[in-house]
Amino acid sequence: MTASSNASTAGYSETAEALIPQYESLSFEEVHGAILSWYPAPPCEVLDIGAGTGRDAAALARMGHRVTAVEPTPELRAYGEQAHAGLGITWVDDGLPQLPLLRARGQRFDLILLTAVWMHLDADERRDGMAALAALLRPGGRISFSLRHGPVPEGRRMFDVSAEALAAEAAPHGLAAMCVVETPGLFGRPEVSWTRVVLQGR
């Protein structure tokens, strides 16, 4: 099964034209500022899963990190590859929960980002996805999650995942929460809020 056939990506190809300027209108600091101090200093190996337009991957590459960007939506990936060319970002067409292509590469990472991604997976997919993430993480590495709470946009599939639920999913893999921060919605949407969680491996 291809990454893009997963139900977790539903709605993104159809709305990519509108999503691209929306994603690119935000800065990396606006999105990650509340937890940025928990990210390791460059240079390190970074994996951005659900990289979208490559906004965050590009910012991390400019900081001096070696970045691999995973994006299963063809329209978003194509934009990112073109818009952020020349930064040494490695783009991969793969997807959760199994990340088969990425895992076959045998690479492991110091920092893994899942920005507005995890809540698209159901409970079984999150179980399998956490196992895949743990296998990709270097000892002592960190995983950054942003969990969306609020109304589900039309055509999308989302589940409300709490920080406590995430910690329970992570614990069997030796991952523990270092930081949990609640932040308001972006784009001035009071009905949406976010939980930012950073896990660390043993």
Q: How far is CA 160 from CA 65, 123, 152, 192, in A?
A: 31, 11, 10, 12
pLDDT, tens digit (0-9, with 9 covering 90-100), for 121-175: 999 999 999 999 999 999 999 999 999 999 998 888 999 999 999 999 999 999 9
The separation between the first and the last C-alpha atoms of the chain, rounded to the nearest angstrom, is 32
For residue 58, the model assigns a pLDDT of: 98
User: Does the pLDDT of residue 195 top 60, yes or no?
Assistant: yes
**Spatial separation of the C-alpha atoms in residues 57 and 110, rounded to whole Å:** 14
- 3 falls in which pLDDT band (50, 70, 90)? very low
Q: Quote the CA–CA distance of 4 and 72 in Å, as a whole number.
A: 5
pTM of the model: 0.91
Helix (H, G, I), strand (E, B) or coil at 193: strand
For 81, counting Cβ atoms within 10 Å of its Cβ (0-12 exposed, 13-18 middle, 19+ buried), the class is middle
pLDDT-derived band at 15 (thresholds 50, 70, 90) equals: low
57-80: pLDDT as tens digits: 999 999 999 999 999 999 999 999
Contact yes or no for 199/177 (Cβ under 8 A):
yes
pLDDT of residue 5: 40
What pLDDT band is residue 8 in, cutting at 50, 70 and 90? low
Q: How many structural domains are present in the chain?
A: 1
Domain carrying residue 28: 3-200
Q: At what angle do helices 74-83 and 16-24 cross, to 10 degrees?
A: 40
| CATH code where residue 133 lies | 3.40.50.150
